[in-house]
Amino acid sequence: MVSTAAGVTGSPLRTVRLVLSGYYGFQNSGDEAVLQSILLALEEQGERQGLRIEPIVLSIDPELTRRMYGVQAYHRMRYSEVSAAILSSDGLISGGGSLLQDATSAKTIPYYLGIIKLAQLLGKPTFIYSQGVGPVNRKLFFSWIRGVFRKAAYVSVRDRESAELLSTMGLKAPVEIVPDPVMGLPLKAPVQNHAGEASPEARRTIGVSVRFWNEDRSELNGIAAALQRLLDEREDVAVRFLPFHLPSDEKASEYVAGKLSDAAAGRVTTARGVTHPQDMLAEAASCDVVLGMRLHSLIYAASQKVPMVGISYDPKIDQFLHRLGMNAAASTAAFDVESVVRECRRLLLHRDEWLKEKEAAIEELKRQAQLPAQQICSYFRSKG
One domain, residues 139 and 258:
no
One domain, residues 234 and 357:
yes
pLDDT mean over 336-357: 97
pLDDT at 13: 85
Residue 199 has pLDDT above 70, yes or no: no
pLDDT mean over 340-368: 97
Confidence grade of residue 6 (pLDDT, cut at 50, 70, 90):
very low
Of 37 and 195, which is predicted with more confidence? 37
* Within-domain flag for 196: no
CATH code of 313's domain? 3.40.50.2000
Q: Express each pLDDT in 276-334 by its tens digit.
A: 999 999 999 999 999 999 999 999 999 999 999 999 999 999 999 999 999 999 999 99
Q: Express each pLDDT in 275-289 by its tens digit.
A: 899 999 999 999 999
One domain, residues 156 and 48:
yes
One domain, residues 228 and 143:
no
Out of 1-10, 57-66, 178-187, 292-301, which region has the weakest mean confidence (pLDDT)? 1-10
Confidence grade of residue 195 (pLDDT, cut at 50, 70, 90):
very low
Q: The whole model's pTM is what? A: 0.88
Confidence grade of residue 146 (pLDDT, cut at 50, 70, 90):
very high
Q: What is the mean pLDDT of the chain?
A: 93
* Within-domain flag for 166: yes
* Calpha distance 328→21 (Å, rounded): 30
One domain, residues 373 and 339:
no
One domain, residues 144 and 268:
no
Residue 190 has pLDDT above 70, yes or no: no
One domain, residues 209 and 353:
yes
| Phi, psi values for residue 259, rounded to 5° | -85, -10
Residue 191 has pLDDT above 90, yes or no: no
* Within-domain flag for 298: yes
Say what percent of the chain tops pLDDT 70.
94
Instruction: Give one word for 335, left, alpha or beta, with left for phi > 0 and alpha for psi -120 to 50.
Output: beta
* Within-domain flag for 142: yes
Residue 185 has a CB neighbour count (10 Å cut-off) of 24
One domain, residues 343 and 375:
no
What do you get for the CA distance between the two ends of the chain, in Å? 12
pLDDT at 350: 96
* Within-domain flag for 173: yes
pLDDT at 10: 56
* Within-domain flag for 187: no
One domain, residues 162 and 214:
no
* Within-domain flag for 304: yes
Domain hosting 233: range is: 204-365
One domain, residues 357 and 374:
no
Q: Contact at 8 Å (CB) between 42 and 8?
A: no
One domain, residues 334 and 377:
no
The residues, ordered by sequence, that sit 6+ positions from 19 with a Cβ below 8 Å of its Cβ are 56, 57, 58, 85, 86, 89, 91, 92, 93, 119
Q: How far is CA 189 from CA 135, 139, 300, 374, in A?
A: 37, 46, 15, 25
The residues, ordered by sequence, that sit 6+ positions from 61 with a Cβ below 8 Å of its Cβ are 25, 26, 27
One domain, residues 18 and 121:
yes
| Phi, psi values for residue 258, rounded to 5° | -65, -20
pLDDT at 203: 85
CATH code of 68's domain? 3.40.50.11930
Q: Express each pLDDT in 212-237 by its tens digit.
A: 999 999 999 999 999 999 999 999 99
* Within-domain flag for 276: yes
Helices (H), the chain: 29-48, 62-69, 79-87, 108-121, 140-150, 160-168, 218-233, 248-258, 277-285, 295-303, 315-323, 337-349, 351-368, 371-382
Confidence grade of residue 253 (pLDDT, cut at 50, 70, 90):
very high
Q: How many distinct structural domains can be found in the chain?
A: 2
32 DSSP β-pair partners: none
pLDDT mean over 94-112: 94
* Calpha distance 264→269 (Å, rounded): 10
